[in-house]
Amino acid sequence: MILFKKTEDLHKWLDDQRKKGKKIGFVPTMGALHEGHLSLIESSSKSNQVTVCSIFVNPTQFNDPKDYERYPVTIEKDIELLENSGCDVLFMPSVVEMYPEGLGLPLHYDLGYLETILEGKFRPGHFQGVCVVVHKLLEKVLPDNLYLGQKDYQQCMVITKLVDLIGLKKKIIINICPTLREPDGLAMSSRNVRLKEDERKKAVAIFQSLSFIRDNLEKGDLSDLKQNANNILAKNGFRTDYIEIAGANNLSLVKEWDGKIKLVAVAAAFLNEVRLIDNMLLN
């Protein structure tokens, strides 16, 4: 695996690969890698001759500065995992390399409704930060295929919209890969390493509350179902930002289900200091 820290060096190397007719797959990450990330690398390696992974903890997407300071950084372990996973290139830029003009966000991405609900509502500015960094990364890597985890359901929609909005000079195919889970059901996440032992045991409640919604879903009013799912979180010490049922294709919140449209249940909740998110397709 080759490690690049400078855009110019990355560009030159990738240009050579393109000239040789090689397809490029890209997995953007913020590090603290786990099997979920490695499954994205694996998917990319199967369909592309070159797989690029980026590790960059992006300061502009943290609406809470403390969350940024505490974001887990495990670079040596990450590099070892990537070397053993079939990743060809690791791009690990500095903050100055990514934001030579400073951390202000000069562009506003028109994400419309998507930015007003769920993560957009509870983490103001978060998706603008995601868009600015992904825009920069896509311009630097210009991949044929982009790999994203379904765990960040709303982020997948935002990035899909971003790719439409920015119209890059190359068509990028977005591949959304399934969430990987621990044996008890907890979705794999970089933030899980911040859970203390007792919190880790309780954390599975977020999966249980989503499973409860899936298993008890019926046509009609959904408010009791959501309330009961929220009770599962509360009983386990979670402070809920939201637990919602939404259209799987557009994330419009659904109060009354017609028994037909495709649904996804989405949740975000804190266990003490640690905020976890998860989602589940329901039908």
* Separation between Cα atoms, residue 4 and residue 184, nearest integer Å: 37
Q: Measured from the CB atom, is 128 or 209 closer to ligand PAF?
A: 128
* Separation between Cα atoms, residue 222 and residue 239, nearest integer Å: 21
Length of the chain as a residue count: 283
Q: Measured from the CB atom, is 175 or 231 closer to ligand PAF?
A: 175
Q: Least CB distance from residue 164 to ligand PAF, whole Å?
A: 17
Which of 174, 146, 179 is CA-nearest to residue 39? Answer: 179
- Start-to-end Cα distance in the chain: 41
- Sheet harboring 89-91: ordered strands across? 2-4, 89-91, 50-55, 24-29, 145-149, 173-177
Q: Least CB distance from residue 167 to ligand PAF, whole Å?
A: 19
Q: Least CB distance from residue 217 to ligand PAF, whole Å?
A: 28
In order, the DSSP letters of 243-267 are: EEEEETTT--B-SEE-S-S-EEEEE
Q: Least CB distance from residue 148 to ligand PAF, whole Å?
A: 7
Question: To which H or E segment does residue 240 belong?
Answer: strand 238-247
Contacts of residue 124, Cβ cutoff 8 Å, sequence gap at least 6: 63
Say which of 34, 37, 126, 135 is annotated catalytic: 37
Q: Measured from the CB atom, is 138 or 267 closer to ligand PAF?
A: 138
Q: Measured from the CB atom, is 225 or 277 closer to ligand PAF?
A: 277
Q: Is 11 a catalytic residue?
A: no
Point out which residues bind ligand PAF (CB under 6 A).
28-30, 58, 61, 130, 133-134, 152, 155
Virtual torsion, Cα 124, 125, 126, 129, nearest 10 deg:
180
Q: Least CB distance from residue 58 to ligand PAF, whole Å?
A: 4
Q: Measured from the CB atom, is 58 or 230 closer to ligand PAF?
A: 58
Helices (H), 195-239: 197-203, 205-216, 223-235
Map tokens 């992006």 to a residue: 58
Name the residues annotated as catalytic: 37
